[in-house]
Amino acid sequence: MASGKRAEFDNKVVGWIDERLPVFTLMQKEYGVFPTPRNFNYFWNFGAIAMTMLILMIVTGIVLAMHYTPHTGEAFNSVERIMRDVNWGWMIRYMHMNGASFFFIAVYIHICRGMYYGSYKKPRELLWILGVLIFLLMMATAFMGYVLPWGQMSYWGATVITGFFSAIPVIGEDIQTWLLGGFTVDNATLNRFFSLHYLLPFLIVGVVFLHIWALHVSGSNNPTGIEPQSNKDPLPFHPFYTTKDTFGLLVFLLFYVAITFWAPNVLGHPDNYIEANPMVTPAHIVPEWYFLPFYAILRAVTFGVNIYVAAGIGLMALAMLPVYCAQTAFKVPVIYNDKDKKNFNWNKFFVLFGLGGAIFMLGFLCQYELADGSKALALPFGQLIFATAKLGGVLAMFGSIALLFVLPWLDTHPVKSANFRPMFKIALLVLLVDFIVLGLVGMKPAAGLWIPLGQIATAYYMSFFLIILPFLNKFEKALPVPKSINEAVLAKKKAK
Ligand code: HEM
């Protein structure tokens, strides 16, 4: 890092420091003259916004930790003391509480931007993977943080979520006991969650550093999805994007401040103002809003894997195999894939895929309970379950995040930006609506029509990644892409 040409600085003190430790040269190179595409829209503000929220969470968290007591007998009251007696304690706590929500809002928008403009594609695959890792770490941190106030939802949320580890065959219960530090959520759990909740944000800072490093190696993507080609395409980061980022940040903070001061509890659950009581289960246990879509996916799997479910999934996967392997040299040993892989035989695909779907449904109906308690269908071995619904739900939930890790290899279409991919654009916008529907389903009790709605929405989520994207790689014709970023900017100006 110290090697390379140093920048010149008028300020003597800055120059003196930089000669010995070139931090100012580094800043100048990476945030001063750094070439940045000239056509960013406001969606490119959200990385900087997320970074600001991360710092804000760490600072407010450190202050809260000065007054918080991680003990089951004291935790709830120590938070109440922060709210009532500690100078400005209420403000710091509300900033931290709502900061978590706004951090997730910023990161969700940041992820959507990346998906819409294909920012996960070559050469930014690792940058994307580091992002998904940050997202996972954020989820773990937020989950453990929510346990700390030791309210009813803290306690029961932790009980439900850690309970899912027991679904792992053979070793599940041991893992659960090990995580909790006992047989139930208790003092040992609270202590380790506090310790990890303090540690993980610093790990996130480390991964964010790698994330930005990777970004500064590949350079930023932009709304056209075309890489800069000449010096007409980029602008120096400062002053163009320092000002644009500051403006976007201030607008975002207006919303954050409005909620923090005028409606600080609107995003939380009232039951968390009741101290944890292991003897009283709340009528309806819900996680924080930002986990709801994943919670809905977890609960959508109401059936175990019997031979019909397994065979159905197997046949559907077999039907998809030629699509997955379309861009590889691998010759799929399935009859309908002709040698040159050009004439896709839709009829044969639909027969095999449809057959798989039908057999899957038979397996599902063998387990579907009717109002009188009997099963909707009785088939031989239909009740023989290899993997329970609980395990299936956990796998589906983790799988839904794992799909994000492999997204760069699921979407290999050569055009990045959805602006030039009409079919991808529609599928992605439907996914956004689907994710919101999943959130609504996660909020409701698992009963009545909410169950099939959650299952349909989960099926679309999975299909988007595993079926739609591979098909689009093969069949989607993109619109004409501009020759350069500069050309796209000039064309837009002309149109105005
Ligand atoms: C603590 C959370 C995060 C922080 C502080 C952060 C920070 C940043 C910053 C500052 C940028 C450059 C500015 C911008 O493009 O907006 C960026 C770019 C990017 N981030 Fe993140 N990020 C975070 C989480 C994530 C997550 C969860 C993902 C994906 C799952 C992700 C994927 C990306 C991608 C693909 C880019 C490149 C975008 C482009 O060039 O078009 N980031 N990030």
Quickly state the pLDDT bin for 392 (edges 50, 70, 90).
Answer: very high
Q: Is the pLDDT of residue 335 over 80?
A: no
The pLDDT tens digits of the residues spanning 435-450 come to 999 999 999 999 999 9
Residue range 216-228: average pLDDT? Answer: 98
**Closest residue (by CA) to atom 28 of ligand 1?**
131
The pLDDT tens digits of the residues spanning 78-98 come to 999 999 999 999 999 999 999
The pLDDT tens digits of the residues spanning 289-300 come to 999 999 999 999
Residue range 134-142: average pLDDT? Answer: 98
Residues of the chain with CATH 1.20.810.10: 33-287
Residues in the chain: 496
Q: Pick from 451, 464, 461: which is nearest to 397 by CA?
A: 461
Pocket test for ligand 1, best of 211, 401, 403 (most atoms within 8 A of CB): 211
pLDDT value, residue 196: 98
Q: Is the pLDDT of residue 2 over 60?
A: no
Q: What is the pTM of this model?
A: 0.95
Q: Pick from 1, 41, 8: which is nearest to 222 by CA?
A: 41
Give me the half-sphere count of Cα atoms (radius 13 Å) on the Cβ side of residue 456.
Answer: 9
Q: Is the pLDDT of residue 414 over 80?
A: yes
Residue 216 is among the residues annotated as catalytic for this protein = yes
Residue range 336-362: average pLDDT? Answer: 83
pLDDT value, residue 332: 62
pLDDT value, residue 494: 87
Among the listed residues 78, 220, 400, 417, the single catalytic one is 220
Residue 288 is among the residues annotated as catalytic for this protein = yes
d(CA 205, CA 207): 6
The pLDDT tens digits of the residues spanning 31-70 come to 999 999 999 999 999 999 999 999 999 999 999 999 999 9
pLDDT value, residue 95: 98
Cα separations (Å) of 167 from 162, 239, 382, 384, 389?
10, 54, 21, 17, 9
Quickly state the pLDDT bin for 348 (edges 50, 70, 90).
Answer: confident
Q: Is the pLDDT of residue 341 over 90?
A: no
pLDDT value, residue 153: 98
**Closest residue (by CA) to atom 18 of ligand 1?**
47
Cβ–Cβ under 8 Å, residues 33 and 237: yes
Could you identify the atom of ligand 1 that is nearest to the CA of residue 135? 27
Q: Pick from 74, 96, 71, 92: which is nearest to 83 by CA?
A: 92
Q: Report CA(480)–ligand 1 centroid distance (Å).
A: 27
Quickly state the pLDDT bin for 336 (edges 50, 70, 90).
Answer: low
d(CA 483, CA 478): 14
pLDDT value, residue 259: 98
Residue 245 is among the residues annotated as catalytic for this protein = yes
Q: Report CA(131)–ligand 1 centroid distance (Å).
A: 6
pLDDT value, residue 325: 82
pLDDT value, residue 147: 98
pLDDT value, residue 342: 65
d(CA 335, CA 358): 21
Q: Is the pLDDT of residue 1 over 60?
A: no
Q: Is the pLDDT of residue 271 over 90?
A: yes
Q: Is the pLDDT of residue 340 over 70?
A: no
User: To the nearest whole number, what is the mean pLDDT of the chain?
Assistant: 95
In the block, tokens 């700390």 appear at 148
Cβ–Cβ under 8 Å, residues 478 and 421: yes
**Closest residue (by CA) to atom 34 of ligand 1?**
128
Structure tokens at 99: 């900061």
Residue range 470-493: average pLDDT? Answer: 95
Q: Is the pLDDT of residue 333 over 70?
A: no
Q: What CATH fold (topology level) applies to the domain 33-287?
A: Cytochrome Bc1 Complex; Chain C (1.20.810)
Residue 174 is among the residues annotated as catalytic for this protein = no
Quickly state the pLDDT bin for 370 (edges 50, 70, 90).
Answer: very high
The pLDDT tens digits of the residues spanning 421-480 come to 999 999 999 999 999 999 999 999 999 999 999 999 999 999 999 999 999 998 999 999
In what helix (H) or strand (E) does residue 42 lie, and over which residues does it extend?
A: none
Pocket test for ligand 1, best of 108, 139, 209, 215 (most atoms within 8 A of CB): 215
Residue range 18-30: average pLDDT? Answer: 96
pLDDT value, residue 338: 61
Share of the chain above pLDDT 90, in %: 91
Could you identify the atom of ligand 1 that is nearest to the CA of residue 117? 41
Residue partners of 218: CB distance under 8 A and separation at least 6:
123, 124, 127
d(CA 38, CA 423): 27
Question: Residues near ligand 1 with C-beta < 6 Å?
Answer: 44, 46-48, 50-51, 54, 107, 110-111, 114, 117, 119-120, 124, 127-128, 131-132, 134-135, 204, 208, 211-212, 215, 220-221, 404
Q: What is the dihedral of CA 410, 412, 417, 418, to 10 degrees?
A: -50
What are the DSSP calls for 51-94, one per residue? HHHHHHHHHHHHHHHTT---STTTHHHHHHHHHHTSTTHHHHHH
